[in-house]
Amino acid sequence: MGKKLTLTDKIYQDIKDDINAKVFQPGEKLNIKELARKYEVSDTPVKQALQRLADEKIVVNTPNKGMRVRTMTPHEMADIFDMRLMMDTFFVKDIVTTLNYNTELRQQLIDNLEKQKAFIAKDDSSHKPEEYFKLDLEFHTLYLKASGNQKAVDVFRSMQPFTYASGMYVNQPKYRDMECVQEHQEILDAALASDLEGLRNAVKKHLDNSNKALRLIFKVNQMVNPD
């Protein structure tokens, strides 16, 4: 049996969903009492939910200023993709070596990719962008785990909430999810074939395309919501 959800779990997910849906805009202040009234609960589960979101870096807790939805600038986004490209291509030799002897990690990547394919095969009514975000995060985490460098994994995971919190990743269209699955397949195929140059090219192609898609979402969001 699965773990029973607490009231804090529910409020945490409600706030997170509202951030994704842009009910709360990037940079908007989150008032505990107003949230308690909105969700018809006491202050305590709201405080606990906000702390969880702060731990995940989806909201920012600034001393004497309270909680705000995290926002991301184009400069921060460019920095994130530069860092990802450096890490993902720097470790290609170690990643190829690991995936050719570590059957467990190799199978986890294969299984993750199958889940991605099953996800994009769903009809649009059951398409939940957050589900794909988690699968994408898992794929890239497993990829970097194959480098044997835990710090690289930690750095990668710390970067993702910036994109997620701005509501940009979860707003990418389904066709981009489909492209990502194909690009992930190309990355895995190159790694399993011990094709170092092919792996570097596949990683660069994937990150370049993701960067372009998110930059477009960012630009349109800024045009629609200039403040």
Distance in angstroms (rounded) separating the CA atoms of residues 6 and 11: 9
- Find the domain containing 27 and state its range: 7-69
pLDDT of residue 165: 52
Q: The domain that contains 27 carries what CATH number?
A: 1.10.10.10
Q: Is residue 1 part of a domain?
A: no
Q: Does residue 37 sit in the same domain as residue 97? A: no
For 29, the enclosing helix (H) or strand (E) is strand 29-30
Q: Does residue 198 sit in the same domain as residue 96? A: yes
Domain end, chosen from 49, 69, 89, is at 69
Q: How many domains does the chain have?
A: 2
Q: The domain that contains 151 carries what CATH number?
A: 1.20.120.530
Q: Does residue 99 sit in the same domain as residue 182? A: yes
Look at residues 166, 179, 164 and name the one whose alpha carbon lies nearest to residue 218: 166
Residues 72-115: tens digit of each pLDDT: 777 888 888 899 999 999 999 999 999 999 999 999 999 999 99
Residues 2-53: tens digit of each pLDDT: 578 899 999 998 998 888 777 888 788 999 999 999 999 999 999 999 999 9
Query: Longest C-alpha distance within the chain, in Å?
Result: 57
Its pTM stands at 0.76
Tokens of 103: 């059957």
Q: Does residue 27 sit in the same domain as residue 88? A: no
Q: Does residue 11 sit in the same domain as residue 44? A: yes
Distance in angstroms (rounded) separating the CA atoms of residues 163 and 143: 19
Interaxial angle between packed helices 92-99 and 74-90, expressed in degrees from 0 to 180 and rounded to the nearest 10 = 50
| Range picked from 40-54, 62-76, 150-164 for highest mean pLDDT | 40-54
